[in-house]
Amino acid sequence: MATTDEFERIESTMHPEMPPGLHLQRTTAEFSAQTVPSGLLAAHRVAASTWGRLRVSSGSVTFVFEDEPLLPRVLAAGDHIDIPPSRHHHVEPATDAVFVVEFYR
């Protein structure tokens, strides 16, 4: 049986949280299924020492960490996910999706 420390490690991997003290550096333009850059649809990563936060304003976006392809996260309007530095991932926006990506350091 897993220990408390093991459960916390698994939880932090599945639901990473941005550490306190970071500051917003920039926000992308709004993307939709029609305007999302092709690079976001394929495996990519946030730069070292930078955290990302994907925010969905309408519709839904499926977010996939490449090291956990069987555990996609479906984000609906109002949801967000924090993206750790250097962790490979991709997005799969629904046809009605509208979202932005924020970058923090």
What is the model's pLDDT at position 90? 98
Are 51 and 82 in contact by the 8 Å Cβ rule? The answer is yes
What is the model's pLDDT at position 12? 47
Domains of the chain, each with CATH number or no CATH: 4-104 (2.60.120.10)
Per-residue pLDDT of the chain (105 residues; tens, 9 = 90+): 555 554 344 444 567 899 999 999 999 999 999 999 999 999 999 999 999 999 999 999 999 999 999 999 999 999 999 999 999 999 999 999 999 999 999
What is the model's pLDDT at position 1? 56
The residue behind tokens 């916390």 is 8
What is the model's pLDDT at position 15? 74
Q: What's CA 78's distance to the chain center, in Å?
A: 14
Are 79 and 56 in contact by the 8 Å Cβ rule? The answer is yes
